[in-house]
Chains A and B, each alone.
Chain A
Amino acid sequence: MTLNSSCGSPEHPVSRRGFLTSLAAMAGTAAVADMTAIQVLGAPAVANELRQQQKRVIMLWLAGGSSQLETFDPKPGVPTGGPFQSIQTSTPGIRISELMPKMARRMRDTTIIRSLNTRNADHGSAAKIMMRGRMSEADIDYPDLGAVMSREMGLESSQVPDYVSFYTATEGRSMAPGHAGFLGARYGSMDLTTSMVPENIRRVNISELDHRERSELRNQLSGMFERGRSSSSLDSHNQAYRRVSGIMANEQLFDIEREPQRVRDRYGPTLFGRQALAARRLCEAGVPFIRVGRAWWDTHAQNFESHQEMVPELDHVMSTLLDDLDERGLLRNTLIVTLAEFGRTPSINSSVGRDHFASAWSTTLSGCGIRGGTVYGRSDASGNRVAEGEIGAARLFATIYRALGINPHKNYYIGARPIPLTDPGTEPIREVLA
């Protein structure tokens, strides 16, 4: 089953009724799938303990491919290095671009991985790889990180969604939408595109009292129908209604206007900043996975000016988010993943741009389970190749899972067929784990 994403674009209008109906159907299907097709190898007690720890992920998705040379792997002084200098960070020996002074001051919770070689520099397929941690296969539809987190960390009793994705720019939105794959649509994303508040949960023409009375009537009728019957399908429908009702009751979670002005000022006026603040609110409320898509970094021309425009925003938003999570005691259980589908070429083209590049690029992990103030891997002097510690998407994902306490070697099962969470033989990068 595939999720009809409520992307909100004119091409995909989704009515409230349609949303509720599909959500109920999704939940029902997923519940059936859970019991008949997909099983998780591992003691339920372990899984439950993990869930109770409320581990979460916020992914800052730099869609289009930000430049590692203008962010986390600067190469000043070489022909490929560009015009910007590197600056010393709070961790001796680690330097990042001068465009990121705020992150430079708070490296204590962050590890930089400078040795990604993901071998795919096409936006669409690379985005899928970096969201799922592996290449697509003809007969296996892999879930992305958000869906896995939804599956592993989502609480059955939760009244908030398990996977929320903000992606407002239209470019690249369709290249890596939230994707539950074989896990089933129950673990799919709530996609927020045109608005920061899910349009379909707004109680537009119905009062709180009407809403409660209707809910009570539904419960009464449902209870009468259930009497003497036992069905997983009925349970899942009720579960779905409870979840939808919970989400509706938590509409204010998405409303950053409820934050004090000083907090909103802290995140800044840009869309990325406001969505990061919304992500923090959702994280605080227990949403296991939130992606904040910041598009579009595809700087084939005027790379340096575009990065001069966009990197300070990333620096501000990322550092503010880390500070805010830390101050609220959330950072130890929240992993911030700053990731793109690829990086950008060391060579500078005639339009003073950098092109797609997947051979030696960077990502960062911050917070939960991470040994901060570290760098893993190294690109060569020109930035053209990985010189040390080469990893691909699978190893990055194994590291992410391990940081969150999820066994990267666990299997899901489709029927009797074991499907490992990461590619077989893939080990986490122990050097960056706390």
Chain B
Amino acid sequence: MPDANPRNLRNVREITRRDMLFSLARVPNTSRILVASSENKVLELDAGQANPTARELADHGRYVTCVRLAGNTVISGGYDNRLIWWDLQANRQIRTNDTHTRQLRQLAVSPDGSKLASVADDMVCKLWNVSDGTLIRDLRGHEERTPTHFTSMLYCCAFSNDGTKLATGDRVGRVCIWNVANGERLSTVEVPSLYTWDATQRIRSIGGVRSLAFSPDGTQIAVGGVGQIGNVDGLSGPSRVEVHDWARRTRVHEFQGTQQGLFNKLVWHPQNHWLCAIGGGGNGFVAFHNMANRTMIHQMNLPMHVHDSTFSEDWTTLYHAGHNKIVVQEMRP
């Protein structure tokens, strides 16, 4: 089957919602998706329908910020500091964990589905066994305070394709690379261009590492967010990605989007066909980059700020969740 072609990307469906959707997971080989809602719940709905009915799963009682699916288990986290584990088939809660002391920001499931990583504003990454929900270990490498003495935040995490490495990224632009097997910190990569501290005009900050993706061979890490911002009142800086050789701690590539805002999601094609960067400012955008010749393949705007996205198994369908909308896109060969 020929490869999906990003140049053929087009919107096929928009589902309007009243809530903000901060995270998205998809049930394999279906158009059923799980979304993390500002209305405090994890919802399941069929993005193949024009007006789908949402089924309520876990209730966090506060904003849900992250949801992932591992086998038949839905795991979600939110501002309630809890992880909730939910049996999708039996439609019941399996367990909760409340060992994070601040709100959770993101989850990642290892490629083999055996491990879960969670990051929270307690600046700890926790590694879990998916099978029984036991904690494997804490990974600590991010400062609780910014250099100017304010609260920091730990935004994102991502496994390498072989599952041996894990990356975590924080507000001030620090990325830690971890050995999943033993918890050793393999490297620390600083990406200060993604963090704007305005010491003169507004005396506050914006930005941070919002998305991470390993290269297919695991030697490079793509780091996404927003570049330096002149006016931190808005997301008025260039959407930005840096690619680093994490072992050598050197930047090997960088690109900035033409749109202003955050790259909240990075997906690196497993055969290195492209790196897809998705996010938003006032509205949303998606961009495909050819990492071999370092050129832009295609980019287009989306009707809402996108917080999370996922591809279908054949890479032809792209599901986006964001501000008051779900958008489905296709890119046929």
Closest 7 pairs between A and B when the two form their complex, measured CB to CB: A296-B202, A83-B63, A350-B323, A83-B79, A171-B201, A298-B233, A301-B234
Which of B39, B149, B204 has most A Cβ within 10 Å?
B204
Report the minimal beta-carbon distance from B16 to chain A, rounded to whole angstroms. 13
Extra inter-chain contacts (10) besides given A64-B202, A83-B62, A271-B203, CB under 8 Å: A83-B38, A85-B79, A169-B202, A170-B201, A296-B201, A305-B153, A308-B153, A351-B282, A352-B20, A352-B323
The answer on a CB contact under 8 Å between A352 and B305 is yes
A269 touches B233 (CB 8 A): no
Binds B, one of A124-132, A309-317, A394-402: A309-317
Rounded to whole angstroms, the CA-CA distance of A305 and B40 in the bound complex is: 18
Contacts A84-B79, A169-B200 known; A351 to B151 CB distance under 8 Å? no
Interface residue? B108 (CB, 8 A): no
The CA-CA distance from A294 to B204 in the complex, in Å, is 10
A79 contacts partner chain B, Cβ-Cβ < 8 Å: yes
Whole-angstrom distance from the CB of B135 to the nearest CB of chain A?
Answer: 25
Verify if A392 is at the interface (C-beta below 8 Å from B): no
Give the contacting residue for A350; candidates B149, B202, B232, B283; CB below 8 A: B283
Determine the chain B residues whose CB is within 8 A of the CB of A77 once the complex forms. 40
What is the CA–CA distance of A171 and B281 in the complex, to the nearest angstrom?
A: 22
The residue that A351 contacts in the complex, of B153, B201, B305, with Cβ under 8 A, is B305
Q: Tell whether A120 is near chain B: CB-to-CB under 8 Å.
A: no
- A-B contact number at CB 8 A: 90
A169 touches B206 (CB 8 A): no
Interface size for A (C-beta < 8 A) is 37
Q: Which residues of A contact B324 (CB under 8 A)?
A: 350
Cα–Cα distance between A90 and B204 once the two chains are bound (Å): 30
Task: Please indicate the chain A residues that have their CB under 8 angstroms from the CB of B149 in the complex.
Answer: 268-270
B9-34 at interface with A (beta carbon < 8 Å): 18-20
- Whether a CB of chain A sits under 8 angstroms from the CB of B148 is yes
Kindly state whether residue A302 has any CB partner on chain B within 8 Å: yes
Contact of A79 among B39, B121, B261, B323 (CB under 8 A): B39
26 contacts between A and B (CB under 8 A): A64-B202, A64-B233, A76-B62, A79-B39, A169-B200, A169-B201, A170-B200, A171-B202, A270-B149, A298-B202, A301-B206, A301-B233, A301-B234, A301-B281, A305-B153, A306-B206, A306-B232, A308-B151, A312-B150, A350-B280, A350-B305, A350-B323, A351-B234, A351-B261, A351-B280, A351-B282
A344 vs chain B, min Cβ distance (A): 12
Q: When the two chains form their complex, are residues A295 and B233 in contact, meaning their CB atoms are under 8 A apart?
A: no
Contact present for B150 and A309 (CB under 8 Å): yes
Residues A70-93 near B (CB distance < 8 A): 76-77, 79, 82-85
Given the contacts A300-B234, A351-B234, A309 and B304 also touching, CB distance less than 8 Å: no
- Chain B 311-333 near chain A by CB (<8 Å), digits 1 or 0: 00000000000011000000000
B188 CB–A CB distance under 8 Å: no
B229 → chain A closest CB, angstroms:
9
**A288 at interface, CB cutoff 8 A:** no
Q: How far is the CA of A296 from the CA of B200 in the complex (A)?
A: 10
Q: Point out the residues of chain B lying under 8 angstroms from A348, CB to CB.
A: 20, 38
Interface residue? B235 (CB, 8 A): yes
Q: A79-B38, A268-B149, A308-B153 are in contact. Are A168 and B203 (CB under 8 A)?
A: yes
